[in-house]
Amino acid sequence: MHQPRSPMTVSIEDIERARERLDRSTDIRQTPVEESSTLGRVVDADVWFKFEHLQKTGSFKPRGAFNKISQVVQGDATRVVAASAGNHAQGVAFAATELGLESLIVMPENAPQAKVDATEGYGATVELTGKTFAEAMDAAKSYADDPDTEFVHAYDDPAVVAGQGTIGLELIEQVPDVSVLTVPIGGGGLIGGIATAVKSYDESIRVVGVQAESAATVPQSLNTGHPVENKTPDTIADGIATGGISDITFEIIQNHVDDVVTVTDTEIAQATLWLLERTKQMVEGAAATSLAPLLSGAIDCQGETVVPLLCGGNIDIATLQDMLTRALVDRRQFVTLYVRIDDHPGVLGEIADIIGRHDTNIRSVRHDRSEEGLPVGKADLVIRTTTPGEVAMGQAISDIKEAGYTIKRVVPTSKAVGTHDT
């Protein structure tokens, strides 16, 4: 049976003391807020973004790490250790270096090289251990048996939660009339600290947590009355794919978070691209989850003052490329044409000239002469294009037909990948 929990372990006083410690850092800063009149018109509300992705290391993580390690240096430890494949790694590395301690970050063997390099760049020693994050975590905890080493957990630590809560103190100063706050949830340390801070200021502020649908654990945890695990979290928002929350963060969420909603990866991708196009801010999927339920209408905030928290900007470039490709396909800007032609010299050049007249670029082209039933002397051109939009593509298709060619199919490029790809 699940054991009763201890009283809440993070208070507003803890967060205020954390802020005093963070004030001693030369690099951790108060991040700006910016009003979005564009989004405000979409959701009929007063909307302000909190740009925490502009924090040192590109995420909120240095706040909690610095608060924790500031207390570690008062003891006998000379080194800190953590397990992470992302933002927590960089936060711990930065904070330890600034406070004069060594740091060891254990990452799984498949950790992206860019994240390894970034973590080492902040002064840490990186050890690649295990095929999974769980194996890396076990290895990191084993180092904490050394009396000179302190383990720094990403969210299961009151000092870390209190450090993240300093964002809440900033928010109520920057947007004092805030009535709705949307915050991504992974392990719960971020929303736990922020909710504690803002509810101490005004209980009526509505704190809404957001999780990726395929990595969600909080709705089930609240329903069962204790933290539950998702052993196979799978989402483009990898920063919040923790697989669970802790007893500490569960208790705070129970007491201070008003609602928790989930969003799909498609909605996260759309929110990421909306921010890139409309605000010129590039954020990671975890950060975009705070915007996604506003765009989808999952949260009703009409007439209120809303602050979505953009918690990090360290997006994987391959993930960003996938998002951009998906968006271009959805907008019919990546299109594949199947054109039946007489197979003789000069035809490809003529069709390419027609396509080019409409600001449409040919990305690749292939002659298909092997289709069953294809008449002798005929061929199909499979042309992958990038076009400004449906109007330009429609005009190109019309001109190709007027030139006497048969358009067999027009499909989004992603659906043409495979046997039809080049």
Q: Let me know whether 105 and 73 are in one domain.
A: yes
Read off the pTM.
0.87
Q: Report the CATH number at residue 371.
A: 3.30.70.260
188-to-145, 206, 298 alpha-carbon distances in Å: 26, 17, 20
Q: Let me know whether 176 and 300 are in one domain.
A: yes
Q: Let me know whether 22 and 67 are in one domain.
A: no
Closest residue by Cα to residue 87 from 129, 50, 119, 123: 119
Q: Let me know whether 127 and 234 are in one domain.
A: no
Give the domain extent around 82.
Answer: 61-158
With a cut of 70, which residues of the chain have pLDDT below it? 1-8, 414-422
Q: Let me know whether 349 and 223 are in one domain.
A: no
106, 126, 158 - which closes a domain: 158
How many structural domains comprise the chain? 3
Token pair for residue 274?
């909306």
Q: Let me know whether 169 and 265 are in one domain.
A: yes
The residue with tokens 């630590």 is 157
Residues 293-322 have pLDDT tens digits of: 999 999 999 999 999 999 999 998 888 988
Q: Let me know whether 139 and 246 are in one domain.
A: no
pLDDT confidence of residue 300: 93
Residues 362-397 have pLDDT tens digits of: 999 999 887 777 888 899 999 999 999 889 999 999
3-state secondary structure of 27: coil
